[in-house]
Amino acid sequence: MGTTLFGCCSFSWRCYRKIDRCQHASVENGISRIKACSKNGETECFSAAGLLKRRTALVFGVSLISPSVLLGFSEEGLAAVKQGLLAGRIPGLSEPDEQGWRTYRRPDEKSGGHGVGWSPIIPYAFSVPQDWEEVPVSIADLGGTEIDLRFANSKEGRLFVIVAPVLRFADNLGDNAKIELIGPPDKVISAFGPEVIGENVEGKVLSMNVTEHSGRTYYQFELEPPHVLITATAAGNRLYLFNVTANGLQWKRHYKDLKKIADSFRVV
């Protein structure tokens, strides 16, 4: 079946190219397509056109058959092929829980990384209300390729994740960095806060807290203005900055949920 299918596609494409040339000739010469074809000795295009339609229909019909049947893959093999093609933005959200919240976990297969020789990014996870959605990241964004992920809800706020090599800030942390080795909370927010808000953070830090989960330390900050919650930690050879922000009205109406999102961030 595979041989017939590809032979059909090849024939249809050749015929299509002939038809295309016929049409082009009719436009350039100001005569009908039939005459142009006849003049160029390509009358067979029209006799083939009907066959093209029939064979095109066959191709579309065959395409409804499971790809695993057509190509001879098992379902497991097909899954492996699909995984090999995944790159960049890959869905990582769970189904909503009983409270309507979903958990995002950075897929292991997602592309990313900064600089030749860097190890794969250690996955991270967080929770968002079910109506928050992933937003495509562009290398033209402020922060460039170090912004690994964006999420947003137009009524509630937005978040983004910065994943930066620790070598930007210290050269003696090795490949198993800890946030404590980078510095205490006040030093970290002074050094990395501008990465988030684009300006000096002096006088803007409302609170600083230190928490620990599964042996990893997290620094948590609240800044105002602008309204932003920052969760910082380190893992492997990278620093993670998880940032939840909103405008004044969103902050007032949805602070509880925004704080819950910020508190949910974990490197897994």
154-207 tens-digit pLDDT: 999 999 999 988 887 777 888 889 999 999 999 999 999 998 998 999 999 999
For residues 211-240, average pLDDT = 95
**Rounded Cα distance, 261 and 268, in Å:** 16
Reported confidence tier of residue 90, pLDDT bands at 50, 70, 90? low
- Rg (alpha carbons) of the chain, rounded to whole number: 28
Find out whether the peptide bond into 226 is cis, omega within 30 degrees of 0: yes
Q: Render pLDDT for 29-53 as a digit per residue (tens, 0 to 9).
A: 444 443 444 444 444 433 334 433 4
Contacts of 87 (CB under 8 A, 6+ apart): 110, 111
Q: Please choose, from the candidates 196, 168, 179, 167, the residue with its C-alpha nearest in 3D space to the C-alpha of residue 235.
A: 179
Reported confidence tier of residue 215, pLDDT bands at 50, 70, 90? very high
CB-facing half-sphere around the CA of 243: CA atoms within 13 A: 26
Q: What is the pLDDT of residue 172?
A: 81
Question: Mapping DSSP to helix (H, G, I), strand (E, B) and coil, where does residue 149 land?
Answer: strand
Q: Phi first, then psi: what are they for 201, rounded to 5°?
A: -95, 0
Highest mean pLDDT range out of 199-203, 235-239, 259-263? 259-263
For residues 69-83, average pLDDT = 39
Domains and CATH numbers, the chain: 2-82 (no CATH), 87-267 (3.40.1000.10)
Q: What is the pLDDT of residue 145?
A: 58
Which residue's structure tokens are 């009358």? 43
Q: Please choose, from the candidates 75, 47, 262, the residue with its C-alpha nearest in 3D space to the C-alpha of residue 160.
A: 262
164 compared with 215, residue with greater pLDDT? 215
Q: Output DSSP code: residue 96.
A: -
